[in-house]
Amino acid sequence: MKIIIVCAIIVSALLIAGCTTISSGNITATPTSSAGTSIPVQTAFSGSVSGNILPMEAVVALGTAEKPFNASIYSIEMDQQTEPGKHTISIFIGATNTGTQPRNLTWFSRLTDINGKTYGGIGVSHAGTGARTRNIPVNVTEAARDYIVINSDKDFTTLSQGALLDVYFMEPKSEGSPLIPDYHVTWGINPGMIK
pTM of the model: 0.75
CA gap 24, 29 in Å, rounded: 7
| 3-class secondary structure per residue, 96-147 | EECCCCCECCEEEEEEEECCCCEEECCCCCHHHCCEECCCECCCCEEEEEEE
Per-domain boundaries in the chain = 2-189
Across the strands, what pairs with 164?
112, 188
What are the tens digits of pLDDT across the range 148-193? 999 999 999 999 999 999 999 998 888 888 989 999 999 999 999 9
CATH classification code of 2-189? 2.60.40.10
Whether 41 shows a pLDDT value over 60: the answer reads no
pLDDT band, residue 52 (cuts 50/70/90)? confident
pLDDT band, residue 19 (cuts 50/70/90)? very low
Name the residue among 60, 57, 23, 54 with its Cα closest to residue 39: 54
